[in-house]
Amino acid sequence: MSPKTKAKYEARAAIIKALAHPTRLFIVDQLQTRKRCVCELTKLIGADISTVSKHLSVLKSVGIVHDEKVGQQVFYHLKTPCVLRFFICVDSVVKTNAEEQLALLR
Amino acid sequence: MSPKTKAKYEARAAIIKALAHPTRLFIVDQLQTRKRCVCELTKLIGADISTVSKHLSVLKSVGIVHDEKVGQQVFYHLKTPCVLRFFICVDSVVKTNAEEQLALLR
DNA sequence: TGCCTATTTGGCCATACAACCAAGTAACCA
DNA sequence: TGGTTACTTGGTTGTATGGCCAAATAGGCA
């Protein structure tokens, strides 16, 4: 693989890597409808606020979300809603796997 | 997050995690046109064959690729081509990031 | 059968990740 | 100004990942 090709796939992988965590996928899904502050996401997720803050900074660093400070709160919103389309494909893979698993039991 | 919700996002994350590596993204891209054996992919990638084999097993374990043994060779093919659509969105994120980076320099 | 080729698996090591707690920063309010 | 709330950052620890080498497995051919 040439250095140029390698760099291309590394750039892509960095974005996908940022999505490759259940909590971050949940966050992306929650931001689908509206922007939310860290405190709200923390309540929904049920982890330490520092953990949630770090997940958000991962998503922000690759440009998937954007943040906006309003008073003492920081609101995050989805910058690239196209990532939501991932779910459609991913869910179809999950479903196919489950069906194949079932078929094996017959 | 309820246990059920958590399980849903964990299942999704497992699929995305399998894609979150430059070499595996390259493999998926290469399988877009036709199935290929491990040896061919190994040449294209330029890593140890054991490394490539492990990457393929990661993709296989989550149901993104399928393998088929023909003689001494094992051919892998893309089982869920919808993952190729990820690239469109991901590349747009990469491009936007680059543009914003440029804008900062002005 | 015995060798050769293709691939997988196990072992090892270095690095990266995710979680929590604790400490630091920033904005608002009394 | 001093306290409170909201958030981020640093530190630590355990676990997962990715790479290579070496060994094991499997199919084909002499």
Bases of strand C lying below 7 A from some protein CB = 5-10, 17-23, 26-28
Q: How far apart are CA B7 and CA A20, in angstroms?
A: 14
Q: In DSSP terms, which residues pair with A67 in a beta bridge?
A: A76
**What CATH number corresponds to the domain at position A60?**
1.10.10.10
Q: Is residue B102 part of a domain?
A: no
B31: part of which helix (H) or strand (E)? none
Q: Is residue B29 part of a domain?
A: yes
pLDDT at B73 over 90: yes
Closest among B68, B82, B98, B92 to B19, alpha carbons compared: B82
In tens, the pLDDT along B31-43 reads: 999 999 999 999 9
Question: Which residues of A touch chain B, with CB atoms under 8 Å apart?
Answer: 1, 5-6, 9-13, 15-17, 19-26, 29, 44-46, 62-64, 79-80, 82-83, 85-94, 96-97, 100
- Give the alpha-carbon dihedral of B93, A24, A40, A46, to 10 degrees: -170
Q: Is residue B104 part of a domain?
A: no
Q: Is residue A53 part of a domain?
A: yes
Q: Is residue B10 part of a domain?
A: yes
Residues in chain B: 106
Q: Is residue B42 part of a domain?
A: yes
What's the start-to-end Cα distance of chain B, in Å?
44
Two structure tokens written together for A101: 């698993």
Taking contacts as CB-CB distances below 8 angstroms, the residues of chain B near A23 are: 9
Q: How confident is the model at residue B104 (pLDDT cuts 50, 70, 90)?
A: confident
pLDDT at A2 over 90: no
Q: Is residue A41 part of a domain?
A: yes
Predicted confidence at residue B106, as pLDDT, reads 79
pLDDT at A58 over 90: yes
Residues A1, B30 contacting (CB under 8 angstroms): no
Q: How confident is the model at residue A105 (pLDDT cuts 50, 70, 90)?
A: confident
From residues 48-67 of B, list those within 7 angstroms of strand C by Cβ: 49-50, 53-54, 56-57, 67
Q: Is residue B103 part of a domain?
A: no
Domain holding A19, by residue range, is 3-80
C-alpha atoms less than 13 angstroms from C-alpha of B81 in its C-beta half-sphere: 7
Taking contacts as CB-CB distances below 8 angstroms, the residues of chain A near B94 are: 11-12, 15
DSSP A83: G
**Which string of DSSP letters, residue by residue, matches B54-101?**
HHHHHHHHTTSEEEEEETTEEEEEES-GGGHHHHHHHHHHHHHHHHHH
B76: part of which helix (H) or strand (E)? strand B73-78
Residues A24, A55 contacting (CB under 8 angstroms): yes
From residues 22-41 of B, list those within 7 angstroms of strand C by Cβ: 37-39
The pair phi, psi for residue A93, each rounded to 5°, is: -65, -45
Closest among B70, B71, B65, B73 to B40, alpha carbons compared: B73
Q: How many domains does chain A have?
A: 1
pLDDT at A1 over 90: no
**How are strands ordered across the β-sheet holding B73-78?**
B36-37, B73-78, B65-70
